Structure formats: structure tokens, C-alpha cells
Structure 1
Amino acid sequence: MTGRRIGAVVAALVSMAASVGLAVVAPAAAAPGCRVDYAVPSQWQGGFTAAVTVTNVGERIDGWRLTWTWPSGQRVSQAWNATVTSSGDQVTAVNAGYNAVIEPNATVSFGFNASWSGTNTAPQSFALNGTTCTGDPGTPPTTTTTTTTTTGNPVPGDAMARVAAMQPGWNLGNTLDSTGADETSWGNPRVTEALLDNVKAQGFKSIRIPVTWGQHQGPAPGHTIEAAYLARVKEVVGWALADGFQVMINIHHDSWQWIAAMPSDRAGVLARYNAIWTQLATAFKDSPAELVFESVNEPQFTGSSGDAQNAQLLHELNASFRDIVRRSGGNNAHRLLVLPTLHTSSDQARLDELATSIRGFGDPHLAATVHYYGYWPFSVNVAGGTRYDATAQKDLTDSFDRVHNTFVARGVPVVLGEYGLLGFDRHTGTIQQGEKLKFFEHLGHYARLKNITTMLWDNGQHLGRTSFQWSDPELAAQIRSSWTTRSGTASSDQVFSARSSAVTAKTITLNTNGTTFTGLRHGATQLVRGTDYTVQGDQLTLTAPALTRLSGSRDYGTNAVLTAHFSAGVPWRINLITHDTPLLTGATGTTSSFAIPTAFRGDLLATMEAKYADGSNAGPHNWTSFKEFDRAFAPDHATGVTRLTPEFFAEVNDNARVTLTFHYWSGATVTYHVTKSGTSVTGTA
């Protein structure tokens, strides 16, 4: 709210603020040009959402820059409808491309999430393009007030604020979305209140609850959802809402089970789809605004005529979904609705198709959603994609840039409904640990930079559903850190020294990511710069005496673990490893069970090439000599074998000698030969 009386009135309001949560900005020196209304519609312990409205009371403005100073050390973490940057307590908000012009007596608005500690005093003064904002020309300066609530809810009806409040999010995967008889059919236990409590305790603000409905749905024409199943979904949703989550539910694996048949059965699929959303809209119409609907997961169509038909069919689903929900009444009239691209792809053509639909709907309570599982060769470790290199990084930044420019920069919020690495579908060791951490550190940072809300895909492989422990605590720490800051990394988390040679100094490259390197530790012991290590630019060199001391008796494997510390984020682990070139020996077996005895001697397998005698590529993915980790081959470092899979031999020519080249993380390579004859396999070193 805005007042115009000053003096005693302002003094009274300032006094009142201390007791009722009403903060008042003291008047600035009188000057014409602009008026700023600053409000805090929601506040929670350590954080708040702010809404800022700027009114131009002077001449037309083409490009604006609003500045202010934090009086209580607050820090902006995420913004929408403006680019907000900080230098200490000094804050600058710059227009987005679509709201750069402010006509006389017109307004622009933007918002942000920020942190606070101790107190959350409102800014005392704002300046627009260098002019202090005091109100209308010739009138007393504006008194701006801040009304604060403690619900943690974003501004009602503000889609951008709603989606920002969902950051960060988590997926309850492979549970209510399973396609079997019930939520346990894919191996996860029944959802409990304790699980949701523990997810909340990890710092997640939202939860996506994927739901597959088809196996719990009756026949045409009613397509009635089983009452017990709907009640179970409502129970889990209720628990999540009671925990304070923003909650998103959807139609999930139905997308490939029966919705994909829409090109050949348009009427039948649409009737069944509409029946689900009609029932869900009715069941949840009185649920609070914290409940969000997503029209369909990863939409796809089988047998369509191509992109144009795919786009039209998805538009029909999204339009029907929006119409059903909006007409159902209650809180659904303004509920946030999330619409996907085809395949939840971030390709520009798919983004443009959805952007066209959203513009046509003219509905301010919509958000877009895409998924991201990384650059494919890196994400599954195939074609030599062992590292999170410049190509893999560019794939991520290009994807997020397209999403931001198509939607966020034009006022449409975006939910990254799922993210992770595709190799995780087997286990999280498919990607080397350090490279995996670099991917998640960068993803969290760049999503924040582009104002994209992220929701981690977790089908049970990350947070234990009954133990409530992370299977990879190091990964969990990196993900959590990326929500608020950057972390330093390095070119590798492995330093190898050959036992067959004298110990020499080793150098790795530091990736400070905007932080500052502060030191190197072995456990709680601070190593000595200049003696144990040196740093020149971004080159960290471990001295030979330090490596000799830390490696002890130089047994094969990891002899010591160091941590590189930076001015922000989590430390970077560095394993000091003693190795020699692995030894492989001959073996016989079958196409369904073949293992190469391997003395790894401290080394670790990175990838494998397979070629025929003429130099052509052998095995699956024959467009590359480098085979897919776990799919074609799998090392077992603990038991000392390297397995070749039935999937590999299924695409190997009979009686053709195949040369395998194993690449290890130390840089060593070893060749091996296999020949398949029917179902028999012979291997020679």
C-alpha cells in the first residue's frame, strides 16, 4: 500500500511496523520521475518473496535500471521479469527485453526471491536510471510500505512467483507412476508421511508426484478412475501439502501406453484423456493454490505424419486440459497449469510450438516444462563421452538459453520437470564420479542464472525411501550447494602415480567457477603451500615429496584423499591413486556369460573400443568404436573381472575376430581379442 502523508504519520507507521510486521521505507529527497511500491507478500524463516512495481511519473522511458541498497544484508537468489544483480548490499534490477519501455503514468512490475537473517528491513530508497524515486511531480515523496505474511506462499495468481517458489523440487519417481497393480510394483515401498517429511528436511520446496492412471481406469464411455486409487493419490497429495510443499501432479506413463495412439484413434484417446482431467479437476478443485497440474508427461505420438501433426495433437491435449480445469470452478479458475513441449524437448522447434499455444491461450496462469538428462554420449557414457567436456557443457547452456529466451524472457515461467543423467537408470556409477559432480554443479548454477526451476528425478536411486539416506552423499551435497552458489572443481578428481616408477609431481587444472581457491587439506590437516603443493594461475601441482609421504606403502588403489577448498560451495575431493597397467588374461564363455579376468592393479576402466580386423566398428552403436558403458561392457573392480554383455555379442559378427581396446582413467590402454562362434566365445590377451 502507498501513502502520501509524512511527518507524524510516517513516524507512527514506523513505530507500528515493529509490532505488526509492517515495514516502512523512509521518504527520499523530493524529485520527480518515478514511484516505487515494494511489497513482501510472503516470508519464511531465512527467505522471502518480494514484488516491486515501478510507476513512471515523468517522460517516456526506453530502457530502465532500478537500484537500491539493502539495509539488513538481504541477498537476491532468483528473479523474474527483470535481471537482478548485486555487489554486496548494492542491488541493480535491469529491464527484460519485453518490458523495457515505460510510458508516462504506466507501470512495470518484477519480483524476486531473497534470503534474510536477523531482520528483513525494507529498502529505504530506490533510484530509476539514476533519479531517486519520490512520487508524483510537485507532491510530497512517496511512503512505501511492505506487508509481510509468514505463509511462504507466492503472490496469488502470479505464475512467475509461483514457479520461483517451487525451487528446488524433487520427483517421487517409480511409485504412483508405476504401470503395475499398485505403487509398489516397480520396487519402491508405499509412500509414507515420514518419507515426505524427510524430503522436506533436505531443503526441497516442491514435489512432483507422477501418476499413471490407465490401469486404474474403467472402460468407455465413463473411463471412471478407481475410487480407492484416486483416494490414495489424494492422501499422498494431502500429506505433501500439509508439509508445506508446492505439489505438482500429472498424467504420466499413459503418454506412451495409450495416448501415443492418438494419430490413429484421436476421438478415443481424447475422450479418455478428458475423462481423467474432468475427474481430477473435480476432485481437487478446492485444493489450495499450492497444488499445480501438469497436463501430460513426455507427450509422444506413434504413427503420426510428422512434426505438424504432432504439434497439433499436443495442442489439442493442452487446450482441452486447460479448458476442463478452468471450467471446473473453485480454485481451478486460477490454478497454475504446466504445459509440456513434445517429448518435453528443448529443441527450438518444439519450444516454438508450445510458445504459440501459450500465446493463443492468453492465460496468465500457465508455465512451460521441459526435461534435461544431459548431452547423450556423456549421459550414458558412449562414443567416448567419458568427460563433462566443452561439448557436453555447451549442450546444457544452449538448451537452457533456448528455454529462457523462448519463455522466461517473455514472462512465461519454466519448470525443469525432470533432470539427471540417463545412465542413472542402471546405476549412478555409469558416469565417473568427478565428471558427474561437475555436471550437477554446472546445471544448478545455469538453471539459477536462467531462472528455471529444477526438479530432480529420483526413482529411488538417490534418497532412500525408508532409510532416508542419500546413496551418494557427495552428489547430494553438490546438488544442494548448487541451489545457492557455485563450487570450485578441477579437471579431475583422480591423481595417478605408477608404482613401477618413481613418484613425480602431478598437476591438475582448477576450475574456480567464480570462487577463490583457499587451500588443500588431507583430512583435518592443512597442507603447506610451497612445500606440499604450488598454485600458478589455475594449475595446482602436488609436489613429489608430498605425494611420496601421502602415498605411504603405495598399495594399489587410493592411498590418500585430499580436499581442495574454495571461498564458496563444497570442497573438491582428490584421490591419490597408485596403479600399474592392468593385466588381462585369456577366457572362454558364452554369449550370455563372458567375463575377462582382469587384474586392475589400482586402475579404473573408463571406456572400451571394439573393431574388426578391417578397422570397422564392431558391436552395438556401430557408428562409433567406443561402446556404451554397462550396456556393452561392465567392469567389476572388486572381483577382478570385465564382463561383456549379451547385448554386445548380439551385434558381433560370427567367427570374426574383434579387437577390444580398454581405456583406463590413468591413461593406460590394453588390447584384447574376442571371437564369437555361435554361442561360444573365446578371449585372448
Structure 2
Amino acid sequence: MSGRRGVALLAAFAVVATGIGLAVAAPAAAAPGCRVDYEVASQWQGGFTANVAVANVGDRVDGWRLTWEWPSGQQVAQAWNATVTSSGGQAVATDAGYNAVIETNRTVSFGFNGTWTGANTAPRSFSLNGVTCTGSPVTTTTTTTENPVPGDAMAQVAAMQPGWNLGNTLDSTGADETSWGNPRVTEALLDSVRAQGFNSIRIPVTWGQHQAADHTVEAAYLNRVKEVVGWALADGFHVMINIHHDSWQWISAMPSDRTGVLARYNAIWTQLATAFKDAPAKLVFESVNEPQFTGSSGDAQNAQLLHELNSSFRDIVRRSGGNNANRLLVLPTLHTSSEQARLDELAASISGFGDRNIAATVHYYGYWPFSVNVAGGFRFDATAQKDLTDSFDRVHDTFVARGVPVVLGEYGLLGFDRHTGTIEQGEKLKFFELFGHYARAKQITTMLWDNGQHLGRTSFAWSDPELWAQIRSSWTTRSGTASSDMVFSAKANAITAKTITLQPNGTTFTALRHNGVDLVRGTDYTISGDQLTLTAAALTRLSGSRVYGTNAVLTAHFSAGVPWRIDVITHDVPVLSAATGTTGAFSIPTAFRGDRLATMEARYADGTNAGPHDWTSFKEFDRAFAPDYTSGVTTLTPEFFAEVRDNAQVTLTFHYWSGATVTYRVTRSGSSVSGTP
């Protein structure tokens, strides 16, 4: 243990592990300070242009948020060099990523067009990251309790971006944190997560199996949670803990056992509030994960029960004293849904509390057909994109625009619960590119759900480095993408030029490279508008001997963000062979011949849909079928055959990314299955 870690852990344990709040004076903290020059450059009837210069006269700023209030209620129409929003008389400007750092004695500038009625009075004061700009540094002395600033919830939630979830660990419903397959948490793991650039960590905790009959939480388990929280605080994380899978294990019974559930729930939060009341302000409490109720009478009762839980949680924490009097509390919608009705229910609760240190939370796992690859949702198309932007717009307009910060406590794709290959790589990357950009635009703090499938818990390596690069880049900028990350040439035919559509996303295309060497524009490729065309000559050279599969990997580079990978692939139409097996084990011998499977349809002879999800002919990738390129088979799962009628022939249509389709017929007779091309 290094000296740094030793000192940090001693400080953390002084206020966390022992539960005793020792207010030990610390050295003078970083000295923030700022000066703002606000100028109306031009004005006309109902409109104006303003330039704002923010001078940093204190310590280095890494990520900034400037707030002010207009006496005359002006509104922002458009902005440059910053993201600027306004609601009522309140205005917020956040950095544009490339200008996030303001060194000491340096200035960053931005501008905007605004509207006014009656008067265009200049703001009287500005605050940078919660510190009033007076023109000189504000030197502060802190204590290890780090008392939060009342009403600064927006700044704290902004500082929590980006966040990471310690999933499937302390939230396991077994007897131990390893019961869902992950190893015990170590200091080294948390150090590694912090080194990746994450500023906050959500530590989901399931408590029910560690409660005695009188609802007392096992001392050993509570101490283990304290230990992990202490390590995370010592690393400098903002830390969020909650009541997690208890939501469906026993809290869901609240409609039929309101008294019993409330007593158990209140007992947990009473113990947690006492144990952590003197912990630093960076410790955040979330009332309950994904609340849900079984057997309720409908939306009205669901809303009332959740309000009762959130209200009880808030009252218990606030009454416990210490730093809990002002600690940031995070409240979820029903199911952590971003549907407008659910948002409105939570907004009404928060408004009634009149508590300035509250944040809202929702989760987002994408448009469901795309998120699991079912019903033909194998592309991140306009429908899937609109689902994302509509969701974030609703969250922003309901909460952020009204001064209530939002923590998007979990995000990812539901197909990741199996593995990250359920959704095609390029389509997946486009989802995360837009996700990161739009969350920034809407000032929503995001926390990646990771149950061990992303960052190795002992290797500390990312299982999909390309995905990780895209996620990390999206925190600060946009990346260019394209209509596809694959260019196919059929081996049976002569090579011809191929075109894909570039999607710059606000960036500018700069180069196309192979093995780090620029290809020649006009000879190897052409650009016409957003159309990138690879010439036949270049594809012939890159394809070499034209073995099936990826012959070359190109990268399209843009003025910002990560490059876009393009695989140059030689293929022919896949060949499927006859097979026999059982409903428990059936695989179709498949010569993929360089192609890649996108989706599969299943229909009976009369044209009706067969298999699971019979409302669609397109079955769920990995759940009903799965390709195994190494073994050369396409597997149909027991789950698929469980929904197939006996002695009925099913026609399968396999769709491949090259555009090829192949039909195949299977017949189930009892537990026996036969298949023919």
C-alpha cells in the first residue's frame, strides 16, 4: 500500500467505516475564481447577440459550467463554442468539449443569439462550477466531511459525469458478492476504473438476503459495503449506493403488504443513514432501483406507492443529521422509465418536497427491437435513433430545464446480457456515438452498466476496445460514422466499385487509410457529397487473393472523434446443409463463405409467424438462433422449438449482411427435428 493510498484510506475510514464524523481541518482547497465579461454585440427588436468571456483567475478548471440569471427573462435561441440553454430567467452554459480546460489566467469565450421582450438587462452575476465570479480567487478550507453546498445539485451531478456501475457484485442475490460470477471487489479494480476517466461509481447493493427477521442488516455485510465505499471515496469518486434487486424480490409486494414492505424498507435506510451520515458529500443515496409493484390497481396506485417510498426515504435521510441534511438524494421514476407519464409523476413528487438537493434518475437500454435484435431491428435506424432522442428530450424538458439534475443510472444494450455481439459492431458503435453526444447536449450524467462483460475485473482490460474507444470519445466530442462498416465483394463475380454513405455528425471527413497509410483520393476512392466510393482498382488490390472473409481493414478519419473502421470482405452466398437433431440440440451445417448473419425469419407454410414472438416473423438473435462462424454451424435453440407446432414445417429465411438471403426448412416431430435446404 503506497503512502498516498494509506493516507487516503485513513481519511475515508475516519468518516465511513467507523461511522464517526471527525471534522479534521485539511489544507486550503483549490482556489476557484473567475471574471466574466458579458457584452451585447448587437441588438434589434426582439433579438440580440451576446459575447461572453470567462477568465479563470483561480486554479486550473477541467470542465466548466457557467450559470446566470437574467433580470428581464431573456432566452437563448442558438449558441456557439458552448452548449447554452435557458428556462425562465435561468441560463446555463457548458463547455463544448474542446474548450473544457481553462488554465490559470486564461480565458474561454462563447457567444449566442437570444430573444428579449420589454428590456434586455444584463445579468447581475455569474457562477462558474458553483462559484460566484467576483474577479478574484475564493480560497476555502475544507474538512474531511466535505459538507455539500445546499442547492448545488446541478453542479454535483455535472461533476459525476461520466459514471460506471459495479454490476452483478454487491447487488447479487446470493449469499456472497461472488455468487453471480464476479470476483470480490478489490482496491486495484477501483483504481483501474478511476484511471479510465470515470468520475463517479454506482455501487448497486441488494440487502434482503442480509437482513434478520427484525430487519437488522448483517454487520459483516454492512461493513463490507462500507469498505468498498471507502475505497471508492479515497479514489476521488462520487459514489452512489442504493437498494437494488430488493425492488423485485420483496418491495414489489407493496400493493398487498404495504405495512410490511414499508417497515423493511425504512429499516434499511435508517441503518444506512446512520452508518453514512458523516461520510463526504461525494457519497450519494439512491432510494431504490427500478421500482415496480405486483398486483397494483394501475398507474395511480403505482405512482402513490413510489411517492410513499421516495418520501419516506427522503425524510429518514434528512432527519438523520450530519451531512445527510444536505446530501444529494436520487429518486427514480417507476421502472426508471423515461415515458412522459412516469416523468410527470416523479416531477410532481420532487416539486412537493421543495428540496434543492435532489436529482431524478432513469435508465436507458435503447429501442427494444434494436437493443436485443428482434423484429428486424438489426440496424440503428431512424426509428431507433428517434427513440433515443425523444427519451432524452423528455427527460431534459421535464427535469433539467426546470433545475432538477438527472443521473441516467444505467445504460447499454439489453443484448449485452448475453454478449456484446448480439448487435452488429458498426450499428452498436453508432448507438453509443449518438448516445454520448445527445446526453451531453441535454446535460444528463450517464453511468455505464457493466456486470463484468466490459471491463475485466482482474485483467482490467476492455473486452471490446473499439466500443470503449467510442464510449470514451463520446464524452467530449462527436465522431464520424457511415452507413456500414462492411464492404462486400462476391468472389463469384468481378470486383466493381462500392459506395457507402458517410455520416460526419458535424465533423469533416479528412482521410481514408489502410495500415496507417493514406489512400489516394481520386485514384483509390472518390467523395461526392456524403458518398464515399472505393474504386474497383483499389478493392482489387486490397482484396489480394480474395480468400473468404476480411481481406483488408480501412479507417475513415474525421476532424474529431475516433476513426470509422471499414472491413473489405470477400464473400459468396452461404451454403446450408441438411441436418437432424433434437429440440434440445439442433445445428445447421453452414458454410458462411465470408458472409455474416444479420437476422432470421420463421414462418409456417400458411405464411403465419412461427417460433417465439409470434407477432413478428423476425426472431431474436442469440435467443432463438445464433451463428457459430468458427464451428461452421447455425444453431436453433430449445427456446425456439418450444414455440414451434409439432409436425408443422417451418420455412426459415436467413438474412446476411451482404444482402444475400437463404431459405431452409425444418420440421419438428416430438423432440426430433429434421432440416433441409
TM-score by length of 2: 0.87
Partner residue in 1 for 2:88:
98
SS at match of 2:347: helix
- Of residues 119, 122, 132 in structure 1, which corresponds to 2:104? 119
Partner residue in 1 for 2:46:
none
Partner residue in 2 for 1:447:
439
Partner residue in 1 for 2:361:
369
1:147 Cα shift?
A: 2.6
SS at match of 1:535: strand
- Of residues 135, 146, 152 in structure 2, which corresponds to 1:144? 135
- Of residues 213, 231, 234 in structure 2, which corresponds to 1:219? 213
Cα separation, partners in 2 of 1:337 and 1:604, compared to 1, 3 Å: same
Partner residue in 2 for 1:652:
644
1:21 Cα shift?
A: 5.3
- Of residues 379, 383, 389 in structure 1, which corresponds to 2:375? 383
- CA RMSD, Structure 1 to Structure 2 (Å): 2.9
1:524 Cα shift?
A: 1.4
Residue 458 of structure 2 aligns with an amino acid whose one-letter code is T
Report if aligned partners of 1:478, 1:570 keep a CA contact under 8 Å in 2.
yes
Partner residue in 2 for 1:485:
477
- Aligned 1:217-366 pairs, distance under 5 A: 217-220=211-214, 223-366=215-358
SS at match of 1:676: strand
- Of residues 159, 169, 184 in structure 2, which corresponds to 1:165? 159
Does residue 187 (structure 1) correspond to residue 181 (structure 2)? The answer is: yes
Distance 1:447 1:147 in 2: 31
Partner residue in 1 for 2:130:
none
Cα separation, partners in 2 of 1:441 and 1:48, compared to 1, 3 Å: closer
Residue 675 of structure 1 aligns with an amino acid whose one-letter code is T
- Of residues 172, 176, 185 in structure 1, which corresponds to 2:170? 176
1:86 Cα shift?
A: 2.9
Give ranges in structure 2 of 5+ residues lacking alignment.
1-29, 42-49, 126-132
Report if aligned partners of 1:506, 1:544 keep a CA contact under 8 Å in 2.
yes
Residue 138 of structure 2 aligns with an amino acid whose one-letter code is T
1:132 Cα shift?
A: 7.2
SS at match of 2:532: strand
Does residue 202 (structure 1) correspond to residue 187 (structure 2)? The answer is: no
Deviations 1:389-416 (A, max 9, x none): 0000000001000101110111100010
Does residue 63 (structure 1) correspond to residue 74 (structure 2)? The answer is: yes
Report if aligned partners of 1:345, 1:370 keep a CA contact under 8 Å in 2.
yes
Cα separation, partners in 2 of 1:472 and 1:123, compared to 1, 3 Å: closer
- Aligned 1:469-618 pairs, distance under 5 A: 469-618=461-610
- Aligned 1:428-443 pairs, distance under 5 A: 428-443=420-435
Deviations 1:290-316 (A, max 9, x none): 000000000000010110100000000
- Of residues 149, 155, 166 in structure 2, which corresponds to 1:156? 149
Cα separation, partners in 2 of 1:536 and 1:271, compared to 1, 3 Å: same
Report if aligned partners of 1:39, 1:146 keep a CA contact under 8 Å in 2.
no
- Aligned 1:6-21 pairs, distance under 5 A: none
Give ranges in structure 1 of 5+ residues lacking alignment.
1-19, 66-82, 100-107, 136-141
Deviations 1:571-617 (A, max 9, x none): 00000000000000000000000000000000011000000000000
Residue 388 of structure 1 aligns with an amino acid whose one-letter code is F
- Aligned 1:613-624 pairs, distance under 5 A: 613-624=605-616
1:568 Cα shift?
A: 0.1
Deviations 1:149-180 (A, max 9, x none): 79999972301001000000000000000000
Report if aligned partners of 2:575, 2:590 keep a CA contact under 8 Å in 1.
yes
Deviations 1:421-457 (A, max 9, x none): 0000000000000000000000000000000000000
Residue 498 of structure 2 aligns with an amino acid whose one-letter code is K
Cα separation, partners in 2 of 1:367 and 1:29, compared to 1, 3 Å: closer
Cα separation, partners in 2 of 1:40 and 1:536, compared to 1, 3 Å: same
Cα separation, partners in 2 of 1:669 and 1:119, compared to 1, 3 Å: same
Partner residue in 1 for 2:13:
none
Residue 393 of structure 2 aligns with an amino acid whose one-letter code is D
Report if aligned partners of 1:126, 1:132 keep a CA contact under 8 Å in 2.
no
Residue 98 of structure 1 aligns with an amino acid whose one-letter code is G
SS at match of 1:170: strand
Distance 1:40 1:333 in 2: 32
How many pairs were matched up?
Answer: 622
1:85 Cα shift?
A: 3.7
